[in-house]
Chain A
Amino acid sequence: MSARDEVLARIRLALGDRPTVPEIPRAYRRGGDLDEGARLDLFADRLVDYKAAVRRCAPADLLGTLVAALTDRGAARIVVPPGLPWDLPGAVVDDGLAATDIDRLDGVVTACAVAVAETGTIVLDAAADQGRRVITLVPDYHLCVVRADQVVQTVPEAVARLDPDRPLTWISGPSATSDIELKRVEGVHGPRTLEVVLVS
C-alpha cells in the first residue's frame, strides 16, 4: 500500500465512530464600526506601537513626502517594483535582480494591497506596485505607501479582500526578536526600519 493510501486508510479507520460536529459558530466580529478618520488614527497608532515610523499626507503631497522620507533616511539608492507609479530619485527598478545586488541597496519603496488598523498590519500581494517578495525583505529600510481606502479595521475584512492565489506577506512593524531574555530587539533578518506613508 502506498503511504498516501495507508495514511488515508488510517484516517478512515480512526474516524470509524463517525464523529458529528456542530456548525461552526461565526458570531465573532466580521467587520469594524469605526469611521474613516478613527480607523486611520487607530492604524497609525498601532504602527507606532510596533516601532514603525508613520507620515501622513494628502494625495497631492505624496511625491514630496516620499522624497523627504528617503532624504531623511539617507537612502540614496533604492529598489522599486516595476509597477510603482511614482518616479523617485535613486530608484533601481527590479527586473529580477539577484538577492546579493538587492543587499547592496539602501532601501525599498512599495505600495500595498490591504492594511489592518486594529493590528497595525500591511499586506503585500506581489502586484506590480509591490513586486517580488525578495525586494521588501533584503534591504534594511522599507518605505510603504498605504491609501486610506486600503485600510480596513479588522482581520476578517482583510482576509475577505485578499486573493489566496497570490503570494502574500503580512507585515506588522519591523523585523523583531525577543529570543534573548525576552528583550525585544528590532531588526534581525528583515528590514530594521519600516516607514509607512498614509495617504488620505
Chain B
Amino acid sequence: MSTFLGLPRAVDTSQLRGRPFPEAARAAVADPQLRRNLGDATATIRAKRARVVGEVPDWESLRAAGAAIKDHTLANLDSLLLQLEAAVTARGGTVHWARDSAEANRIVTELVRATGADEVVKVKSMATQEIGLNEALEAAGIAAWETDLAELIVQLGHDKPSHILVPAIHRNRAEIREIFLREMGAVGLPAPADLTDSPPALAEAARRHLRQKFLSARVAISGANFAVAATGTLSVVESEGNGRMCLTLPPTLITVMGIEKLVPTWQDLEVFLQLLPRSSTGERMNPYTSMWSGAVEGQDFHLVLLDNGRTAVLGDPSGRSALRCIRCSACLNVCPVYERTGGHAYGSVYPGPIGAVLSPQLTGPELNATLPYASSLCGACYDVCPVAIDIPTMLVHLRAQVPHPAPERAVMRAAAYAMGSPRRWAATRSASRAGRLLGGRRGRIRSLPPPLSGWTASRDLPVPPAEGFRDWWTRTHGSPPPATPPPAAGGDGAGAA
C-alpha cells in the first residue's frame, strides 16, 4: 500500500491553463467583431436573467438554501459519496473513482473498448472538457462526437469553447455556415449544398447530421448537473434534446462527474431546479431535464467520480466555497472583464470570474498566476451567483498566494517609496510629465522601459494629465496644497484598460 502524501492537484493542466491572461486578452480586446458579439450576447442573457429572477419572490431565500445545501455537501463529502455509491450500485449501476484526469480517461477508454465501439456520442460536459477526454479517446482510436449544437460548432471548427453555456458565443452565423459546409461531410452526413446562414437552417443541418449518429451510437458519455446521494439519482439539464438522445438511445451510458456535484437529498433538487435555469439561460425552466437512478430501461450504466484537484480546493477553508459552483455561467455574463476579453483569454475550460478562481485552485496558483488579476473586483459576480460564492474575496485571497512577477513587485515598491513622503511624491510629478512623451499621439502608454515594463505588460496606461492635481491647486490657489497624508499605494485602480 502506498503512503498518502498530502493533497495533490490536477496532474494534467493542459485544459486548465493557457497563455497568461494579459497576453491572451490583448489580442481579444483588439478584435472589434469579437467585442461586439460578446457585448450583445452578454447583455441579452443578463437582461433575460434579471427578468426571470425578478419574478421569483423568494429568490434570496432560495439562494441562501442553495449555498447552505452545498456547504453541507462539502462538509460531509466522504460519507455522501459513499451513500451515492451504494445507491447507484443497488440500482444496477457501476461506480468508478478517479484521482485525476489520466485515471478518469483510462477508465472511460477501457469501458468504451469493452463494448467494442469505436465512436461515442457526448452530452456537453465541463468535467470531460476539464480532463481532455475527447483527446484521450482520439488517441485510443475512438471518435467522440459532441452533440450540443454549440459544442458541435466548436468541434467542427477545430476551436475551443469560450463560454460555459454558449461555447460558440464568439462565432457568428456566417462563420457557422462556413464551418458546417466545410467540415460536416468529412465526419458524417454533409450539410446541404444550399445551406443558408439563417439560424433555423443551421439548426436543421445539425439535427440531420447528428440524428444519424444518435441512432447508431452504442455508447454515450455525459456529465451530471446534480447527483442525489440518498437516492443515487443523476440529472442532466439541457435544451436541445441532444442530452435526452444520448442518455436514452445508446445501450451503454458513462457519466463523468466531479465529486462536488452532489446534493444530499432528493428534496434538495427543488432548490437547484429553480436556481439553475433562471441563472443560466434566463428561462423559468430549461426545455429538458432528465433524471435517472442507476441502470434504467435496460441500459448498462457507469458513473465515474472525479477528484482532479477538487480535494485540494476543499482543503483550503478560504477557497472551498468555489466548489459550490453549479456552472450556471451567470457570473460570466455580468463580468466587465469577460465581456471585453471573452472566454479564450482565460486559457482554461473554466472562463470568467469562476474560472479566475477555480482554474488556479485546481492547478495550484503558481500555474495560473495571472488569472486572479483578471477581474476588476466590482462584485457583480457575487451578486448574481445563485449559490452566493464570494468570488471577489476569493480573488484577493488567491492574489496573495500567486507569485507576483518581479517587475510588478519592483513597481509596487517604487510606488510605495515615492508615495512615502510629500517631497518624493512631488518629484514624481516631473516624471509623470515624461509619461506624456511615452504615450505619444495615441494617448495610451503601451510599454514602459524595464523594470516598469512588467506593469504595462498587462495594462495600457493612460498618459498622465498635462497638469497634475498639486500643480493645478498651486496655480489656482497661489500656494501649494496643505500637507496631507499621501494617497495609499494601491494596485487595482491604476489605469487598467
A binding-site residues for B, Cβ under 8 Å = 1-4, 6-17, 19-30, 46, 50, 99-100, 103, 116, 118-121, 126, 132-134, 137, 155-156, 158-160, 164-165, 167-183, 185, 187-191
Contacts and interface: CB of A to CB of B under 8 A. Distances in A.
A7 B317 contact: no
A14 B311 contact: yes
B75 A21 contact: yes
Contact of A189 (B72, B244, B269): B244
B325 interface: no
Contacts of A183: 199
B287 A173 contact: yes
Chain B contact-residue range equals 35 or more
B203 A24 contact: no
A27 B231 contact: no
A188 B242 CA distance: 8
A169 B289 contact: yes
B492 interface: no
A1 B6 CA distance: 14
Interface of chain B: mostly helix, strand, loop or mixed: helix
Given A7-B311, A25-B68, A137-B241, A169 B290 contact: yes
Contact of A159 (B2, B273, B285): B273
Nearest to A4: B97
Contacts of A185: 199-200, 203
A178 B166 contact: yes
Interface in B134-165: 147-150, 153
Nearest to A140: B207
B285 A179 contact: no
B286 A172 contact: yes
Contacts of B97: 2-4, 7
Contacts of A46: 284
B240 A15 contact: no
A164 B210 contact: no
B68 A22 contact: yes
B103 A180 contact: no
A187 B207 contact: yes
Contacts of A168: 289-292
Contacts of A188: 149, 203, 206-207, 239-242
A169 B296 contact: no
